[in-house]
Amino acid sequence: MGRPAKFTHSQLQAAALALVDREGLAGLSMRALAGELGTGAMTLYNYVSQREDIDLLVVEAVIGEARWPLAGYAQWQDEVRAIATALWQAVRAHPHAIPLILTRRSRSPAVFEVTEALLRALARSGRSGPALLVAFRAVSGLITGLAQSELAGPLALQAEESAELTIARFRALPAERFAHLIDIANAAAGSTADGEFRASLDLLLAGLSADRGGER
């Protein structure tokens, strides 16, 4: 409850995110962050109670970067698309932070704000209660799930290898046993993450538009 003076919350946040962007997740230690701030490791414990709080600072910083036009959407689908895309782009701008965004519970204001905004847009489809919950689960699941599939799915690029090499690896699989895997690996060679995101989101929006969430 006492409020320390040497650093602000957003100074810690910015330093932690800068460290992750620069050095990767493995570089984010209490000692390294303290060094980034020009102090000793133990000083950080005046601001956070445990190491995991540092991860939450990073998540908050990334999600907090999402920006989208607040009004002027003729259709709720356009508004959902705008918010989802803003989140997607904020996450993709900090690839090293993705594992944290996937695994850390954040209850920061920035996360609440964007969640409520997405819900508001989805509610324009006529949904509330359980149907709104499901729509939200599906859309937010798709956003993080697509970030995940790029990071760690079977088609994810190896950290140190080119896209060509990853695809070549698939082409080397037994052709008839993994015919479809080889097919989509080839397709992936000619597609972009943004394009795949947009198309996947459109599939889900088609489903959300077809079933307007009638009462149940």
- Closer residue to a second copy in complex, CB, 38/154: 154
Cα(211)–Cα(204) distance, integer angstroms: 11
- Closer residue to a second copy in complex, CB, 3/177: 177
Structure-token match 């060679």, residue found: 189
* Other Cβ atoms closer than 10 A to 88: 21
Residue 64 Cβ, how far from DNA at the closest point, in Å? Answer: 22
- Closer residue to DNA in complex, CB, 52/183: 52
Per partner kind, with CB cut-offs from 5 to 8 A, the member of DNA, a second copy, none near residue 39 is: DNA
Per partner kind, with CB cut-offs from 5 to 8 A, the member of DNA, a second copy, none near residue 18 is: none
Burial code (b: 16+ CB inside 10 Å, e: under 16) for 37-56 equals: beeeeebbeebbeeeeebbb
Look up residue 162 and give its DSSP letter. Answer: -
Position among 129, 162, 172, 212 found at the interface with a second copy (CB under 8 A): 129
Q: How far is CA 115 from the centre of its chain?
A: 13
Cα(81)–Cα(114) distance, integer angstroms: 13
Per partner kind, with CB cut-offs from 5 to 8 A, the member of DNA, a second copy, none near residue 204 is: a second copy
For residues 70 to 109, the per-residue mask of contacts with a second copy, x marking binding by CB under 8 A and - elsewhere, is ----------------------------xx--xxxxxx--
